[in-house]
Every structure is written in structure tokens, then in C-alpha cells.
């Protein structure tokens, strides 16, 4: 039978870096044996961003804990959505996106996915 696990802050899993964004997982296949969910906290330094990317195999739900900026979306990153503390963001699989921190403090976001291991594709938008 699967067991309940508590992962304390000092036990978080350091994950790949995307642009200037770093992510620490608290629920992952490696840490908890999860088979259908992933939960992490990501930090984007002031005036920085993740790389433009999409996830092949999962949807994402994001909660902005602190910081203000933009969530840029679209195949060519042509649409900008303002984001700030308390905002929830839904990202379907294969949707190109890039969180950008326009603030003078770290942006922190909670990221949940419906798979324990994501497949990420970084993109270079074409200019038209």
C-alpha cells in the first residue's frame, strides 16, 4: 500500500533550470513515488524569465505566491497576460508559455502538473 510522505523544505528535489527560473519539487516520482502528480515551487529573480517552452505530456496549474510580471503565451509569444500574487494560471499541454518577472523582488510560483515527470521542449519563437 502506498504511504503518506511529508517532504520538509531541506529535502526538496532540485530540478532543471529554465532560463533564470529555478524549481524545487516537493512531490515528485523521485521523492514520493508519485505516479500522477507533481508539485514544485519555482523562483524567478527580478527582471528575469524562464525560457520559452511547452510541456508535451501534461497540463500545468500555477499559483503566483509573490512578485509581479507577465505570462507570455502563443506560438510566437505574441500575447502578454499580467500576473501577480493570488493569480491562478491554467496551461494546457503543448501550449507555449514564458513567465517573466518584472518586479524588483523574486517571483515565486507554485507549479502543479498531472504527471510525475514532465517532458519539456524549449522553443525559439519566430519573428514575423
Instruction: Quick: pLDDT tens for 78-98.
Output: 999 999 999 999 999 999 999
Q: Where are the alpha helices (DSSP H) in 1-128?
A: 29-32
Residue 76 lies in a domain: yes
Residue 5 lies in a domain: no
In angstroms, the CA 42 to CA 63 distance is 10
HSE of 29, CA atoms in CB hemisphere, 13 A: 9
Q: Are 95 and 52 in contact (CB under 8 A)?
A: no
**CATH assignment of the domain containing 82:** 2.60.120
Residue 50 lies in a domain: yes
**Domain residue limits at 26:** 12-86+93-102
Residue 127 DSSP code: P
Residue 18 DSSP code: B
pLDDT value at position 41? 96
Name the domain count of the chain. Answer: 1
pLDDT value at position 15? 87
| 38-81 pLDDT tens trace | 999 999 999 999 999 999 999 999 999 999 999 999 999 999 99
12, 16, 18, 22: CA torsion to nearest 10: 20
Mean pLDDT, residues 19-40: 93
Amino acid at each position: 500500500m502506498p504511504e503518506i510522505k511529508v517532504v520538509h523544505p531541506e529535502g526538496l528535489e532540485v530540478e532543471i533550470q529554465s532560463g533564470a527560473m529555478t524549481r524545487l519539487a516537493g512531490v515528485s516520482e523521485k521523492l514520493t513515488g508519485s505516479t500522477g502528480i507533481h508539485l514544485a515551487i519555482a523562483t524567478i529573480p527580478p527582471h528575469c524569465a524562464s525560457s520559452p517552452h511547452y510541456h508535451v505530456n501534461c497540463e500545468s496549474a500555477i499559483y503566483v505566491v509573490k512578485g509581479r510580471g507577465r505570462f507570455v503565451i502563443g506560438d510566437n509569444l505574441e500575447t502578454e497576460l499580467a500576473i501577480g500574487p493570488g493569480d491562478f494560471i491554467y496551461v494546457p499541454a503543448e501550449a507555449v508559455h514564458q513567465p517573466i518577472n518584472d518586479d524588483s523582488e523574486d517571483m515565486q510560483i507554485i507549479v502543479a502538473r498531472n504527471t510525475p515527470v514532465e517532458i519539456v521542449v524549449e522553443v525559439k519563437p519566430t519573428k514575423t
